[in-house]
Amino acid sequence: MPAGGKLFLETENVVLDENFVRPYKVKPGRYVKVSVTDTGIGMSEETLQRIFEPFFTTKEMGRGIGLGLASAYGIIKNHGGFIIVSSQKGRGSTFTMYMPCSETYLSQEAAPEDLVLKGSETVLIVDDEEIVLDVGVEILKTLGYQVLSANSGQEALEIYGNRSNEIAMIILDMIMPEMSGGKVFDEIRTLNPDVKVLLASGYSMNGQAAAILERGCNGFIQKPYTIKALSEKLRKILEEESVH
């Protein structure tokens, strides 16, 4: 919405039948429906068909690489949900997400101090998405870690090459342009075979992630991660004895 506009958020509990969910290959039942509607410039049919492709973007060079919607699609799908998009040029867009309802209930809310495990080591976090990187840095600082950050694979290699003696472990994004997380992992392992790496991705632990884990990566966390989940993964990996 370059000239401003309105953004509408709507939530609703719904029950979807077999006929409705069949095209999306999910189970019928109770879902939470979340709709986001804007009054922006909308999309052409050609763009609409490609919006969930990794690295597809309509932004100018240097203004983003188009992983946000691909990651959102992967996260929703991995949780058994689906997303529907409608848009017309000049008439805005509506993204409607359906997420299956959980059958479990929160019996007791733990105090915040009981949820996270803190540390003081130096962690290098690597992610090409600026917002994701900024949030990750703040989470790590909140947990007590010293933090170094890189927004590309090449920058990560340069930082690690200069400061490997300080860095206790690396949080590495799997999908990045130019140099993928797998390539970065292999290059860093040539510098230090004992390096500890936590692989982070919006996609599931199959395919590329599984292959990197088989090559010796220490763990996997799916984005978006909670501060509790990250704190536990970090302590588990940092306190493991090296296998080399």
By DSSP bridging, strand 82-87 and strand 7-16 are unpaired
Percentage of the chain surpassing pLDDT 70?
87
Torsions phi, psi for 173 (to 5 deg): -70, 140
pLDDT mean over 86-111: 83
Answer yes or no: is pLDDT of 171 > 60.
yes
DSSP percent split of the chain into helix, strand, coil, nearest 5: 30, 25, 45
pLDDT at residue 58, as a whole number: 62
| Confidence band, pLDDT 50/70/90 cuts, at residue 33 | very high
Quick check: 45 pLDDT over 70?
yes
Q: Is residue 124 a contact partner of residue 167, using CB atoms and an 8 Å limit?
A: yes
Pairing mode, strands 93-100 and 122-126: unpaired
> What's the pLDDT at 118?
93
Q: Which two tokens stand for residue 50?
A: 């490609």
CA–CA separation, 99 vs 69, rounded Å?
16
Tell me what the mean pLDDT of segment 200-217 comes to. Answer: 80
DSSP characters over 73-91: HHHHHHTT-EEEEEE-TTS
Give the residue with greater pLDDT, 44 vs 9: 9
How does residue 62 score in pLDDT terms, banded at 50, 70 and 90?
very low
- What does the pLDDT average to over 11-37? 94
Q: Which of 43, 139, 124 is nearest to 87 (CA)?
A: 43
Cα 203 from Cα 101, distance rounded (Å)? 21
Q: Which of 112, 173, 172 is nearest to 142 (CA)?
A: 112
How would residue 59 be classed by pLDDT, with cut points 50, 70 and 90? Answer: low
pLDDT at 112: 54
Please give the domain boundaries of the chain with CATH numbers for all domains.
Answer: 7-100 (3.30.565.10), 112-238 (3.40.50.2300)
Q: What is the mean pLDDT of residues 201-229?
A: 83
Written as six digits, the tokens of 32 are 């939470």
